[in-house]
Structure 1
């Protein structure tokens, strides 16, 4: 398999510095990042940075090395993306997952502007690409992520519904409840009573 990845070359008067960027599917949480880090270190590659869905390696790997890395990643459910369109969609997902999981879906600007600022591409183009590959819109995916976060907070039972609505930037409890029922078919109260077996893994959304 021929992999598509990005490399950059920075040249100064002392040395040549190579950087390779790999985009990885199903890398959706902190534990995922740690698992990917462990694999890269075990292979002896120079790891510069790990973000959700993306790693930066401080050397240029051969195709054989990339294939070896991909095989090890696949044993844990990850996969190096070799298609540019898939890479962009994964980047959008990673940005939204981070927004919901680590920043409580707090937006100072409309979602479209937030995505555009982070991807540096026209939003209409990104939206069409996302819908084409995922069969749902960016906005719908964002809602799914928020609902899964609501489920998580309900199961933890540390916040009441009003506090959850405030934390995740819903305009009201009624707004949260309406969106929750439309997405899951259940009220938040009924979901809480039935338990966590109805939650979904983020990488399955």
Structure 2
């Protein structure tokens, strides 16, 4: 096996940590992406054990079964969508995931809901809300700009969804001095 799927690898900093740690223990890498590492050589079972222990100390976990890999791929696609290209989404979320994973959306949705205890749509909304919190705290964009960046139809839609999830309006959240953000791997 030349590739491993890794749980909780959700940001560029994660990629840097995984890359650094794997290189320190002597593995030649082809690529490291969110949730996936491709090696130049096949891994032995012992290699996987050593890598698993090393990465576990940073909160990562090697995924072995197909369902876990699929769920992690869904999460990675959604995180990538929210943080890097949400405004570029020209399909529905269900069509996007089906196309990217080459599977029927209802199958993906059922698997995700059964294992994670939350629907794909709700998980996606929670990711967007955390991104909104981040952008509000940075205070560089207006709510209109945030709505556009995250592909909301209007500021009202963003505000309603934000309040439904957090219990606060975006403007009230901005006034709070306590930053109530969650880490992506905790969603």
Aligned to 2:124: 142
Are 1:24 and 2:6 an aligned pair? yes
Query: 5 Å matches for 1:77-156?
Result: 77-156=59-138
Aligned to 1:203: 185
Aligned to 1:3: none
Task: Decide whether the 8 Å contact of 1:106 with 1:168 is kept in 2.
Answer: no
Deviation, structure 1 residue 82 = 2.0
Q: Residue deviations 1:17-57, cap 9 Å, x none?
A: xxx11010110000000100011111211211111011111
Q: Unmatched 5+ residue regions in structure 1?
A: 1-6, 8-19
Aligned-partner Cα distance in 2 for 1:56–1:46: 9
Aligned to 1:52: 34
Question: Alignment partner for residue 162 of structure 2, among 166, 180, 198?
Answer: 180
Q: Which 4+ stretches in 1 moved above 6 angstroms?
A: none
Q: How many residues align?
A: 187
Aligned-partner Cα distance in 2 for 1:113–1:201: 27
Deviation, structure 1 residue 58 = 1.5
Deviation, structure 1 residue 197 = 2.3
Aligned-partner Cα distance in 1 for 2:168–2:109: 29
Aligned-partner Cα distance in 1 for 2:119–2:6: 21
Farther-moved stretch of structure 1 (32-41 vs 158-167):
158-167
Task: Decide whether the 8 Å contact of 2:87 with 2:148 is kept in 1.
Answer: no
Aligned to 1:69: 51
Q: Residue deviations 1:112-142, cap 9 Å, x none?
A: 1100111111111111000011111111111
Any idea what SS the aligned residue of 2:179 has? Answer: helix
Aligned to 1:164: 146
Task: Decide whether the 8 Å contact of 1:155 with 1:195 is kept in 2.
Answer: no
**Larger helix percent:** 2
**Larger strand percent:** 1
**TM-score normalized by structure 1?**
0.88
**TM-score normalized by structure 2?**
0.96
Q: How much is the aligned-residue C-alpha RMSD, in angstroms? A: 1.1
Aligned-partner Cα distance in 2 for 1:163–1:113: 26
Task: Decide whether the 8 Å contact of 1:130 with 1:137 is kept in 2.
Answer: yes
